[in-house]
Amino acid sequence: MKQICSKEFEGKIDLEIIDVIENPQLAKDEKIIATPTVIKMLPAPIRRIIGDFSNREKVLLGLDLLEFEGQQ
């Protein structure tokens, strides 16, 4: 996820990594039931993907970010 964000969006996305072991309340609040989970908050609508993030195109599609790819 770090690699996708840095390569595709060059600092335009804030990525916050949360260790659910260290912060179980946040995991509960966000209804995270499996890891790894990515939650895209903005732009709306909220999107969640779970699992393997190795396929860049599937990750961007799942987060509804393909249209923003490479925009300046």
Does pLDDT of 61 surpass 70? yes
pTM (whole model) above 0.85: no
| Amino acid identity for residue 40 in this structure | K
Average pLDDT over the chain, rounded to an integer: 86
Distances 40 to 16, 37, 56 between C-alpha atoms, Å: 10, 10, 15
Mean pLDDT within 29-51? 91
Does pLDDT of 18 surpass 80? yes
Does pLDDT of 24 surpass 90? yes
| Amino acid identity for residue 19 in this structure | D
pLDDT at 68: 57
Q: Helices in 1-72 by DSSP H: which ranges?
A: 2-9, 24-29, 56-62
